[in-house]
Structure 1
């Protein structure tokens, strides 16, 4: 996964439409020296990013170090493009450039005090590692800002480069261009500018165009566990509090603990990596499917804007109901182990397997099909054996499907496996060399599926090989539920069960206790 530095806290966001009651007419500044980014600068206090602009996290550590070097060495840098509202100065293009300079000035590459305040201290280990690497690269190339600032106006013997950089620090401005017109003109300009250079990806563009829709607001809230910029700031305080609370719970169920490469534990996140682009793509699909109470979910583009926050809250609540069926300690939780169901043979997360299961469970909730969940308990042991045995073939199968097919086909696969394995007479169909071919044909997939096996490896173990070895070694040895013999996910979903029920005189002793899935305890034994 490419390393990207999170600089989103460096310049605050604001909605174009929000205006203070005390309107201040701002003069157009002619250029932008680095002093405008000092903490006590009046210009910095006015500086804003549009709330629809993508997160400032698309530059690598190398890009940041190179840009700061280019600034100090008087190399060509594209002009900043700004737009003046009555109260603020909005950065239409150049957010990464200004954020990189300010990050250098305050020594905060996503792990400093400004970022910690912005995210309420909720900063991932991966973000901290990338920030530390960025800091090392910048200090190797140009040194600390505070050090160079101390050299300004002083005679430096021997090191011409440092002397030149110190002299340029406060004399070299960034060039400016101003957009003339109203907020609509500025927004149109933003899209035109971002169709060139480093263009927006599909998810970013979709979120920007649908930024007031409930799924978009909810996805951004869940991604950061209710922290960071409040894309829901226009709602009432009551609804903002509800959104933050729901986002925190959904984030915990989906993305805790943080993913590791290579795998060193099978305590893996249900939703895979919290990397923004990947996680937002997952969240939009997840919310679209899980929050629907229709057989055919309504796409984000067809939703109405949410002006109060109520639809955002409702979509999050409905999605949480489905997620609690998959994981967690609520009584209806099946406690599916992510490593069994949603990770491939190399320990990599597959969102289509997860979303396929979400689609299936959502459909059963819509239809009030309680029988399905009881059948799943009966079938579970055989289903999980099949999934573990055929991980590599499932991966190949998904690669040969169109993107639109993947989620519904995986839902069909899970349902067929449960249907077959819930009958003792048919469960044997899921064993043997022809098992996967049989399943593929039953869910409408034609053609021959071949497991190509292990490719030629280098002498050293790479991360992927290490993860594969870890999966092969530890996955079959996970603890099992005493009721259904399915695999337990002890860190997320367990229930302590009386072997002899309390109503039958069973005591709360060690000898009378066993660990089971929450649903096996409440939905089966009870």
Structure 2
């Protein structure tokens, strides 16, 4: 199970500047932030508090370790894998900045978010507005970074980022237009410290650094990236299935004209 979780988090290998959309959800496998990310991921998926040394006993027979790994794998599969439960969250949309930097706080926030929408049976509410939600995340990527800077660490900021995600989804499900959602968010009591701005005016160098090279590439290709034909959300190679447009149960055949690409969850659960 540990190897499977590792593959979901860190495969394919991340190289910078980014020149492909096929990147891992967990960032670089070998970096100073990798071990803390894995540890916090395990803690969140198992609802282990930061003082876990005081609450966890020695696992003499290994059963508790297996249970922890099972819970961790379940959430990893839900986020991005070929498992039928997978939402297939695209790394570029959810876990990387416009400059191609892995956003640890966003990663933790999405882990917690995915767990909560499953526990509260709200997955379909997310799917209904997923395309608009992802469009907002891409356009206002810098707002998540503002939350992180205000709280000063990924561990402290991710619950607030999760609430920011839920606020956007709530507004979209209530019929607020995509263009008005952010205005309502940044004027709300919880997020009135957020501001709309652009970074271009701060750049004085004539050369492209690694981050801006990644940004140029991502800006060019993301608009043409593959999308799920059921929910219209972005689709990643690690979570791409072929769906019958007319279901097999309804007489649909395995012909090219009756096929479409879809997220595993959209294919196996949401559509049905």
TM-score scaled by length of structure 1: 0.49
| CA-to-aligned-CA distance 1:433-472 (integer Å, 9 cap, x gap) | xx43422444712325142421224222221110110111
Q: Which residue of 1 aligns with 2:149?
A: 399
Question: What is the SS of the residue equivalent to 1:496?
Answer: strand
Counterpart CA distance in 2 for 1:392 and 1:289 is 24
SS in 1 for 2:33: helix
The question of whether the paired residues in 2 share the 8 Å contact of 1:396 and 1:451 is answered with no
**Which one of the candidate residues 225, 231, 255 is aligned to 1:478?**
225
Q: Kindly indicate whether residue 57 of structure 2 is the aligned counterpart of residue 290 of structure 1.
A: no
Q: 1:415 aligns with which of 166, 174, 189?
A: 166
Question: In the alignment, what sits opposite 1:201?
Answer: none
Structure of higher CA gyration radius? 1
Whether 1:301 aligns to 2:56 is no
Q: Determine which structure has the larger helix proportion and give its number.
A: 2
Aligned equivalents of 2:31 and 2:59: distance in 1?
A: 23
**Paired position in structure 1 for 2:206:** 459
Superposition map of 1:178-193 within 5 A: none
Aligned to 1:374, the other structure's residue is in SS state: helix
Q: Tell me, what secondary structure is at the counterpart of 1:349?
A: coil
Change (3 A) 1:284 1:501: same
Unaligned runs of 5+ in 1: 1-245
Tell me the distance in 1 between the aligned counterparts of 2:114 and 2:136.
Answer: 19
**Mapped partners of 2:186, 2:37: distance in 1:** 25
User: Which has the bigger relative contact order, CA under 8 A and spacing at least 6?
Assistant: 2
Q: CA deviation at 1:359?
A: 0.9
Contact 1:331/1:522 (CA < 8 Å) preserved in 2? yes
8 Å contact from structure 2 (residues 59, 65) kept in 1: yes
Residues 1:522 and 2:272 aligned together:
no
Give the distance between the partners of 2:256 and 2:44, measured in 1 at CA: 42
Q: State whether residues 147 and 157 of structure 2, in contact with CA within 8 Å, keep that contact through their aligned partners in structure 1.
A: no
Task: Give me the whole-angstrom Cα distance separating, in 1, the residues matched to 2:192 and 2:263.
Answer: 36
1:379 maps onto 2:126 in alignment: no
Number of residue pairs the alignment of both structures matches = 268
Contact kept in structure 1, 2:109 and 2:161, CA below 8 Å? yes
> How much has 1:276 moved relative to structure 2?
4.6
Aligned to 1:274: 29
Provide the alpha-carbon RMSD of the alignment. 1.7
CA distance in 1, matches of 2:220, 2:204: 19
| Secondary structure in 1 matching 2:242 | strand
Give me the whole-angstrom Cα distance separating, in 2, the residues matched to 1:443 and 1:311. 41
TM-score, normalised to structure 2, is 0.92
Of the three residues 240, 249, 263, the one matched with 1:503 is 249
Gaps of 5+ in 2: none
